[in-house]
Chains A and B, each alone.
Chain A
Amino acid sequence: MDKSKRAAQARVLRRVLRYLGRSRAYLAASLLLALATVLLTLYIPKLTGEAVDRMLGPGQVDFAGVAAVIARILVCAAVTGACQWLMSLCNNKMTFEVVRDIRNDAFAKIERLPLGYIDSHPWGEIESRVIADADQFADGLLMGFTQLFSGVVTILGTLVFMLTVDARITLAVVVITPVSLLVAAFISKRTYVLFRRQSELRGEQTAFINEMIEGQKVVKAFGRKEAVEEEFDRINERLSACSLRAVFFSSITNPATRFVNSLVYTCVGLVGALAVVRGTLSVGQLAAFLRYANQYTKPFNEISGVIAELQNAIACAERVFELIDEDPQTPDAPDAASPSAFHGEVTLQDVDFGYVPARPLIQGLNLRVQPGQKVAIVGPTGCGKTTLINLLMRFYDVDRGAIFVDGKDARSYTRRSLRDGYGMVLQETWLRSGTVRENITMADPSIPEEEMLSAARACHIDSFIRRLPQGYDTPVARNGEGFSQGQRQLLCIARVMMSRPYMLILDEATSSIDTRTELKIQEAFNALMEGRTSFIVAHRLSTIRNADVILVMKDGSIIEQGDHETLMAARGFYYDLYQSQFLGKAI
């Protein structure tokens, strides 16, 4: 199991490196600068050692020599400083750009995910992958990259410098070093699992927080604050316990490697001092060595700290990649047609469908709609009306059978062209952040002003928009807060009018619009539906009566079909439904 985990980590790392590959020049520059920085940094202790060796005792100081060394130290320090800064810039650029690219890819995947995924996964969790995980990953990567590389170079550089001074002491240092690595590896292996678990628990908590903050009004209305808080406490305690372990175990790394350092330092001191006593080493060289011993082991310190951070970063990256790797919706066939216009003939043939394969919702559905026909879909709540729309729009694909548009399987068109063919207004209005204008002209921002205004006027929303502080340029915030449900629906209708579709889907499109306004926009609606195949889901039977075909759905199948008169005459389910409009009177 450990092996497969390590393999998974390696895969994630390789993938991050692939993302890095896009900015190779900066990577190269960063490596060069790191190299220069490290070498110069290492050179300075050697210089200091030389300076110390030029002041042996009272009256034995070589002032000219000391001055020359000092000059070299100052130049080295200045160059090092410059290199360090430039290196940080390169690293910053790489890290932030890799995260940017990963975020872009994750977002692009959201746009291509099957709706089934979005409908069945907590949004908070998907969000936390794109935002929090990517962010934590950025932090870990930045720290990791800066320190890991210069750490490694420091170690190698120090070894070389030490070798030039004294091979035996170097050997002593090299022998103790693996201990430090082993300790770090041991700890990081343990903490990886803990961090992953922490990431999961955090996702769970985010989902809960999301739900409760969104439903805060209901929580308040029912005085459920305490109960909700209790539930929150339960998750919170679990998260906090897991965090404590993850944080504590990962933070042992530092003291442990620092301890190994002090062993290395002592060892250098001991072997070095004995060598000075024997006369094979100068005091200045010992001083340089001691600083090397520090410099040599410090990176191990940092590397192990970095490894803990990278563990977390990798756990986070893994979650982002999981999202990026989700199967996208089945891609359009390579030879998929992309017609610019549709006649609007829609046929459903033996369609079976269920959101969960085990629970079929629609079975053996057949339907033939002629171009330009108005089809009203009625039936009790939960009869499958919305599902039918999901299938027509190809938000979901049928399990069996097929939907034909203009005589060709809907799957033989590109999704884009098929959906362009439809105009859709849903009961759940959705506005995006942006201006009112951007929302209305969503289908095509290049639409002339005059056309937009006339659509808005036709929907009787123009005067309302004009009264807004910035008219059509008023920003719409957070899914249209500040607009009433009805106003949002009017905006959505105007939006569809602008898109000039060939077929229409209206799912309770006017449910929140008062009947007076609805009556007023009826004319616009009629014009919109003129000559267009339209699917209308509505409860207001008066709007349905004018339909060419009324489909009465129940439990996923069509139980009656025909126009208003025929269905009324049949005295079936539709008749009951229609009569019940006045049932209120009997009570």
Chain B
Amino acid sequence: MRSLLVYLKKYRRDAILAPAFKLLEALFELAVPLVMAGVIDVGIAQGDTGYILRMCGLLVLLGVAGLAVSITAQFFAARAATGFAAGLRRALFGRIQEFSFSQMDLFGTDTLVTRMTSDISQVQSGLNLTLRLFLRSPFIVFGSMVMAFTVDARSARVFAATIPLLAVVVFGVMLISLPLYGKVQTRLDGIMTATRENLSGARVIRAFGQEDREEERFRAQNAELTRTQKFVGRISALMNPLTYVMVNIATAVLIQRGAVRVDSGILTQGQVIALLNYMSQILVELIKMANFIIQMTKASACARRVADVLETEPDMPDGSLSLADADPNAPAVAFHGVSLSYKGSSGRALEDVSFTARRGETVGIIGGTGSGKSSLVNLIPRFYDATSGSVEVLGHDVRAYREEELRRAVGVVLQKAELFKGTIAGNVRWGNESATDEEVDSALAAAQAKEFVDSRAEGSTAPVEQSGRNLSGGQKQRLTIARALLKKPEILILDDSASALDFATDARLRAAIREASRDMTTFIVSQRAASVQHADQILVLDDGRLVARGTHEELLASSPVYQEIYYSQFPKEDAAHG
């Protein structure tokens, strides 16, 4: 958790000034009982009204001074806390953007979102409270003890005995409840996932009439959360009563001692009152501290969760080569005995795959569901690292390139079409920020998106909602293709990205891509034989293995797997006159 402190550095001055001013305030507060003892022992004892008035004036002054320093402290604390939280959010967001695909798979988006939002805001309030209280309260507790010693050392021993006992209770409760708050968070995560699922699955849930059952499930999960919360609450609720009882026992002892000391003339009445006041000040601070600790335990559980993400190093070390280092004569892509298994899964997604794709070639990849097609192309832009074997792009192992350089060379259209809030042109420009309007237009045209974009009144400045929800699946796919085309990559990968397009559009799309760049190496992953049959070479995958490789004619003649796929889509009689 210490790793989070780095983000406080920028606000070091604020973070030091806030508690410092709080201490000043505490000093003013500690002086009050002494002044009052003076009022009783001097003013009242001698009937000196002037003295009483002067001392009360002093109390008002102490109050004004306290107000001034305390507001100052609050400001510094607020600035440090909100600034720290902003910095932390920024750092966490940056870190998440650096995560490799397998790390994203491992964490899951829901947890990451909770950590970025509610966890960090808990940490912010925790820090704010810490800066204000964590020095102040112990300071007043110990300050009261020190002041008590100045009044009467023997009586003050009661303070010295009570404070460690109080500390044991306070920290004991804290230590027990801390891990429990973590559990509460986990359950909260579960509820979050359920909510998310019911938003994303609204159609299916309703189609199956599952509303009531989903509600029931949610209720059960929610009840579980409530139960845990109540359990933690029960434990942390012990702190106040326990400390209260202890302080009062100490008060009783103090009265007993005080009585003896007053009897023997060592203490005055006013001094006993001052001692009792210091004891009650301790009680007041303890109550504050108890609240503070409850907040802190929650906040530190949240901080732990944030730190977990922040401390996770991106697991793909970056290379150093740039595109300028690429070998102009090397093949575009070469696989040498590549195997891949995903983290947390026992089976192999790819097994000993080797092939070479020359520059400008179109490579079709076909195979059944789960045969490893996506896994294969995901290795080219280094979304995942091969478990064994090597993947070479433009003459070098992908691991040797700097990530951004490699990704500049490789354009990918993922299976799942993701768009972002903004405009159509804005989304396409992700491919190339500095592209001209004409370039955007021609990318849209090549991606067969021109027609529907032009049908919008605003054209390419038409708004795209969050995650592109206002577009159909096919429209989204075409925009993601345009986005990749605008990048003018050396290698373009279409990972089953035309599945929502009809055949005619799909065919025109492929033609346009060929037209757009003759020396671009293109990988087309598809279920459709029609999409790959004109490729320069076709890779046929089955269960993670590369079972055949060649042109359409060669494969149709030699590969049983390919034949099966092809004829399932083109019954023989059609293929004959097609």
Number of A-B contacts defined by CB within 8 Å = 516
A113 to chain B minimum Cβ distance, whole angstroms, is: 8
Q: What is the minimal beta-carbon distance from A303 to any residue of chain B, in angstroms?
A: 14
A-B pairs with lowest CB-CB distance, top 6: A486-B369, A381-B474, A262-B63, A88-B237, A580-B504, A77-B248
In whole Å, how far is B564's beta carbon from the nearest beta carbon of chain A?
5
Contact indicator A262/B204 (Cβ below 8 Å): no
Tell me which residues from 457 to 486 in chain B have a Cβ below 8 Å from any Cβ of chain A: 465-467, 469, 472-475, 478, 480, 483
CB contact between B262 and one of A57, A112, A262 (< 8 Å): that residue:
A57
Q: What is the 8 Å Cβ interface bit string for chain A, positions 263-285, against chain B (1 contact, 0 not)?
A: 10110011001101100000110
Interface centre among B218, B531, B565 (most CB of A within 10 A): B218
Q: Which of A74, A386, A539 contacts B503 (CB 8 A)?
A: A539
> Please, which residue of chain A has its CB at the minimum distance from the CB of B295?
A139
> Please, how many angstroms separate the alpha-carbon atoms of A262 and B508 in the complex?
82
Chain A residue at smallest Cβ distance from B473: A427
27 A/B residue pairs, CB under 8 Å, sorted by A? A55-B272, A58-B263, A73-B248, A84-B241, A88-B237, A97-B226, A104-B218, A111-B211, A131-B188, A217-B101, A218-B414, A221-B414, A222-B431, A223-B408, A229-B90, A232-B93, A255-B70, A258-B66, A269-B55, A283-B270, A422-B207, A426-B204, A428-B473, A479-B200, A508-B499, A514-B527, A542-B569
Segment touching B, from A12-20, A118-126, A172-180: A118-126
- Partner of A259 from the list B63, B203, B347, B501 (CB cut-off 8 Å) is B63
- B199 and A127 within 8 A (CB): yes
| CB within 8 Å of B: which A35-91 residues | 44-45, 48, 51-52, 54-61, 63, 66-67, 69-70, 73-74, 76-78, 80-82, 84-85, 88-89
Contact digits for B266-308, partner A, Cβ 8 Å, 1 yes 0 no: 0011101100110010001000000100000000000000000
Judge if A348 is at the interface, Cβ distance under 8 Å: no
The residue from B223, B508, B527 contacting A512, defined by CB atoms under 8 A apart: B527
B113 near A124 with CB under 8 A, answer yes
CB contact between B249 and one of A74, A88, A124, A225 (< 8 Å): that residue: A74
Complex interface: chain A residues within 8 A of B60 (CB)? 262-263, 266
A216 in the interface, Cβ–Cβ < 8 Å?
yes
CA distance A584 to B381 in the complex (A): 28
Is the CB of B439 closer than 8 A to any CB of chain A? Answer: no
* CB of B395, distance to nearest CB on chain A (Å): 21
- A232-B90, A274-B52, A516-B564 known; A81 vs B67 contact (CB < 8 Å): no
| A276 with B44: CB separation less than 8 A | yes
Which residue of A52, A217, A262, A422 contacts B59 across the interface (Cβ within 8 Å)?
A262
Which of A113, A221, A248 interacts with B78 by CB under 8 Å? A248
User: Is B112 located at the chain interface by the 8 A CB criterion?
Assistant: yes
B256 near A70 with CB under 8 A, answer yes
Asked if A55 meets B258 with Cβ closer than 8 Å, knowing A209-B117, A223-B404, A517-B369, the reply is: yes
Q: Is the CB of A96 within 8 A of B565?
A: no
B residues 111-133 in Cβ contact with A at 8 Å: 112-114, 116-118, 121, 124, 128, 132
Task: State the CA gap A263–B62 with chains docked (Å).
Answer: 10
Q: Beyond A54-B259, A256-B67, A442-B210, list 4 extra A-B contacts (CB 8 Å).
A: A85-B237, A96-B233, A262-B60, A512-B369
A128 within 8 Å of B by Cβ?
A: yes
Expressed in whole angstroms, the Cα–Cα distance for A130 and B225 within the complex equals 14
Please name all residues of chain A whose beta carbon is closer than 8 Å to the beta carbon of B7 when the two chains form the complex: none
Contact B276 A52, beta carbon cutoff 8 Å = yes
Instruction: Point out the residues of chain A lying under 8 angstroms from B496, CB to CB.
Output: 485, 512
Cα distance, A102 to B510, chains bound together (Å): 53
A58 touches B214 (CB 8 A): no
